[in-house]
Chains A and B, each alone.
Chain A
């Protein structure tokens, strides 16, 4: 299908309780109920450090308070699928459109609130543009014994799930 809207021309909106912004280094540290939204991506964390280079590309590192995890939700622009991710720490690179979930990471792909597939691991990298993710194990893995556990629905069931709430009459 056509490539999703170029993510670069989308404003980034970040809400938080406090903010420390360094104008010379163009770095911002957001603390307290941080919510970042950028197009179809939204991220919730306790603390977010954002660096922006002169070309306007953003690099963010989000961490959660003790006992909580960073939550990321990414909907696909032209389908009912959505990706939900939890991790101790999330790193986001707007140039490479890469999202890394690090530490007890769990990424779930859903369609019409039905779980299509789920990956657990210590580190899961998700590429927003190609909608592809890769996972690696480790002792901080979300799955038991530090391995990667992947549960993927068969193609038929996931297509059925997608069709079940996709707008009828195909794409407008």
Chain B
């Protein structure tokens, strides 16, 4: 009979030890102040002055740059608001493009830059080819795909003076294709007279 009592007592003591250690661990975790959750309001949490952000392509070469006098970071959607941004695409095998605007917003981890206000997207003339300038009130850049597009009216001026206007445009710098999605108007300038003789 005694054996049954001692094993019962041993079981009870073991149970008490397990219970108390579980309680102690829980009490300890509850008492330490855990970090407060991230602020999710759209308020700036950090800013950079006179910055240059460079993105590299898969091979590590710098493919795109974003510069500006000031960028403000917002934690809720991890976006940057940039004043007077300059977005440059500089891939080795392709022509450079430079986009400037009054302000811009970069989000989706840099995959998208929306430029607003007097936007000028320029491909400077290079190796004998006339340049290209696209102007609109808003242009969205996708640096990874090296594409620029807008749904608003836009005007394209080519180095040789011809002009394309329309509403809704997309320019792909890798294939140098430009599509105009509605009411396209092209004005091909006459050859400059001196060019003829």
Binding site for B on A (CB under 8 A): 8-24, 28, 30, 52, 55-56, 58
Contacts and interface: CB of A to CB of B under 8 A. Distances in A.
A21 B177 contact: yes
A22 B184 contact: no
A52 B188 contact: yes
Interface string B25-60: 000000000000000000000000000000000000
Interface residues of B, number: 25
A24 B182 contact: no
A116 to B, nearest CB: 31
A20 B185 CA distance: 12
A11 B161 CA distance: 10
Contacts of A9: 190-191, 193, 196
B179 interface: yes
Given A8-B196, A24-B176, A56-B160, A19 B184 contact: yes
Interface of B: 132, 158, 160, 164, 166, 175-191, 193, 195-196
A21 B187 contact: no
Given A9-B191, A23-B177, A56-B191, A17 B183 contact: yes
Nearest to A34: B184
Contacts of B182: 17-18
A18 B186 CA distance: 11
B141 to A, nearest CB: 18
A13 B183 CA distance: 13
Contact of B132 (A12, A18, A23, A58): A23
A58 B186 CA distance: 13
A15 B195 contact: no
A23 B188 contact: no
Contacts of B187: 11-13
Contacts of B193: 9
Contacts of A22: 175-178
B186 A13 contact: yes
Contacts of B132: 23
Given A13-B185, A56-B160, A19 B179 contact: yes
A17 B166 CA distance: 9
Nearest to B190: A9
A15 B176 contact: no
